[in-house]
Amino acid sequence: MVFPEAELPVIDISVLQSELKEGDPDLQRLCNQVKEAAQQWGAFRVVNHGVEKELLNTVDSVSRGLFSLPPQVKERAVCLPFDGYSKGVGLSSGEAICFPAVLASDSIQQYAQKLWPQGNPEFCDSLRTYSSKLADLTNSLIKLILEDLGVMTILYNDQVVGLEMRSKQGEWFTVKPLAGSFTVIIASALKIWSNDRCWSVEHRVAYEGKEPRLSIGFFWNFLKEKEVRVPEELIDEHYPHRYKPFLFKDYRNARVQEAPLDIFI
């Protein structure tokens, strides 16, 4: 059963665009809002984030152009399990395409050449600019979380309803579209790293409409070959040590296989 009346916290992060010093009351207020949302909801929305509307419109447009390509063209970019084109996997029965390390390599050009014989500079440039903006935003949000204690997803959604989340009380609710916002979702790796101080929200897509629905996710991950362990300062009598250290690549493989987090205890 879905309870559509629940609403994610909406957080105005415009103060991050100012040069505020540590201890500034506006910055501390924002830090408290992010901390509460991460602990109680495992997700929140951000507005006034500094990513230009024109850029969002361009990324939306080129992404729709990508998915409107013929199936046999999109299948040129199949490269599972963590990148490339796929269909009928993940949160829904729709399509997905993932470009790894957009800012660190020419992988996006390599994929573009598979999809468009002459390449697609507008697609590559807009996604690289978008990824750079989202990387800066993610780093700022992680710093806010670390102020009180990193891994999360920043999701752009169009105005088509479909994203659902499960509250701490176990009730599913519909995440209503909010123009110009990003949805920040705490991933389970951050839940483990924070020793359960952050909540990882379960989410899914439930959509049976005919109108195309577009989501663009930006994923911030630990390095896959690095060991992830709970910091000593996050262990106390209220939060006893719960999770054993693990390599992030093993965590990713476990999540692909839909293994429970208990395997890391």
Structure tokens at 160: 């088509």
Tell me how long the chain is.
265
pLDDT above 60 (res 91)? no
Percent of the chain with pLDDT over 70: 89
pLDDT above 60 (res 151)? no
Q: What is the DSSP letter of 197?
A: S
Percent of the chain with pLDDT over 90: 24
Q: Which of 75-79, 126-130, 203-207 has the highest mean pLDDT?
A: 126-130
CA–CA–CA angle 93, 98, 103 (5° rounding): 160
CA–CA dist 240, 243 (Å, integer): 9
3-state helix, strand, coil in the chain (%, to 5): 40, 20, 40
pLDDT by residue (tens digit) across 182-233?
Answer: 999 988 888 888 898 888 888 888 777 778 888 888 887 777 788 888 888 8
Q: What's the rounded mean pLDDT across residues 238-247?
A: 89
Q: Which residues contact 189 (CB under 8 A, 6 or more apart)?
A: 151, 221, 222, 228, 248, 251
- DSSP characters over 74-128: HGGGEETTTEEEEES-TTSSSEEEE-TTTTTSSHHHHHHHHHSTT--HHHHHHHH
Q: What is the pLDDT of residue 54?
A: 95
The model's pTM is: 0.84
pLDDT above 60 (res 2)? no
Radius of gyration of the chain from its Cα atoms, rounded to whole angstroms: 19
Q: What is the pLDDT of residue 104?
A: 65
CA–CA dist 228, 222 (Å, integer): 8
The amino acid at 126? S
Q: What is the pLDDT of residue 183?
A: 92
CA–CA dist 209, 13 (Å, integer): 33
Burial class, 41, CB count within 10 angstroms (exposed 0-12 / middle 13-18 / buried 19+) = buried
CA–CA dist 60, 169 (Å, integer): 34
The CATH code belonging to domain 1-265 is: 2.60.120.330
